[in-house]
A = this chain, B = another copy of it.
Amino acid sequence: MNATLLDTEKNYVKPQKFSFENFVCENGEVIPYVDIAYETYGTLNASKSNAILIAHAFSGDAHAAFYHEGETRAGWWDNMIGPNRAFDTNRFFIICSNVIGGCAGSTGPSSINPNTGRPYALDFPQVTIRDMVAAQKKLIEHLGIEKLYSLAGGSMGGMQVLEWLVSYPHAVLSAIPIATTARHSPQQIAFNEVGRQAIMADPKWNGGNYYGAEIPRAGLSVARMVGHITYMSEKSMAEKFGRRTKSAADSTKFHADFEVEGYLRNRGDFFVRRFDANSYLYISKAMDLFDASGGRHLSEKFFELEAKLLVLAFKSDWLYPAHQSLDIVTACKITGVPVSYVEIEANYGHDSFLVETEKQSQIVRHFLSRVDELIY
């Protein structure tokens, strides 16, 4: 996305941490001590009215934009966040935090359980999207922010956006759920379940107790490969790989004949170095259990909303198909919540929200400027 920058042209950001005690999860279990890793970009204004929270997707983290010292690759949504970008850091104060249950600085199953001195593993409570959002709310309050100017996220980030609206309807002026759903379909649950089964089938997973030993590399890698297929579209795969074959240097049977096979194996191998297998189980399960509507019609949960919504979907996204976004739009229409909806033409499948920068940027920029006009 970015042309090579000189170090002096880069924007830098430092990871931060916010901690609190005795977090009561939705299921009643208590986490005695919680760290939340977060980053901020831009400057909070005096009235604390220019804050935008960015919620990350399944395997994302708090590093949404800019560079860490010495880093060659910017944060995961750097194409959307920065000076004069869609989430303009010249105007807005952007916050992104790693979800509770995660493995990139926030407390999760790989964290030390203070009651035992060892990692929680499966003793960690089954956190939910609501728990993730409750932890974010504490962070926002800690920063002195009463109302978010906006709130945005794709995929599981969009679920957090919806949960914010439902849990804290008076704390949000506008919201941008992207390529997401108010609840997983059985197909989405099924894909997640296959990933979990692949991890748990790996003997090295060992009932979740692999910390300090070999990690369930093979199982986690297979899980990620399934994920990657669902994040791309048939078309983007065809354009990226075609049926091109790799060199036959590896002559063993069932090596990667096709480039797409090698690509998937590489993505799987790369992923296991940065992601905790138990976090995979917990977070994917949190997504499956999520239902913004609480099993009723979503509109019943939207009556208290004060926010304006921009709902975005992508034509080639078959994992979170547009009809799921339209369910959110319908709930807004029923309850009179102001909503704009765009189904963006982009070939990258579900990944579009991460890589399609041009149209998405224009639409988001325009929406954020309209929120401003109407509310201030």
Contact = CB atoms under 8 A, between A and B. Distances in A.
Interface stretch (A157-165, A253-261, A364-372): A253-261
Contacts of A259: 186
Given A254-B285, A264-B194, A240 B186 contact: yes
Interface string A247-269: 00000011011111100110010
A200 B194 CA distance: 16
A259 B228 CA distance: 25
A257 B289 contact: yes
**Residue of A126, A191, A201 contacting most chain B CB atoms (<10 Å):** A201
B254 A281 contact: yes
Interface stretch (A34-42, A169-177, A215-223, A338-346): A215-223
Interface string A198-229: 10111100001000000000110110011011
Interface of A: 122, 126, 183-187, 189-191, 193-194, 196-198, 200-203, 208, 218-219, 221-222, 225-226, 228-229, 232, 234, 237-238, 240-243, 253-254, 256-261, 264-265, 268, 281, 285, 288-289, 291, 318, 321
25 contacts: A183-B243, A185-B237, A186-B259, A187-B232, A189-B243, A189-B260, A190-B225, A190-B228, A190-B260, A193-B225, A193-B261, A194-B222, A194-B226, A197-B221, A197-B265, A197-B268, A198-B222, A201-B218, A201-B219, A201-B222, A208-B253, A226-B226, A234-B321, A254-B281, A257-B288
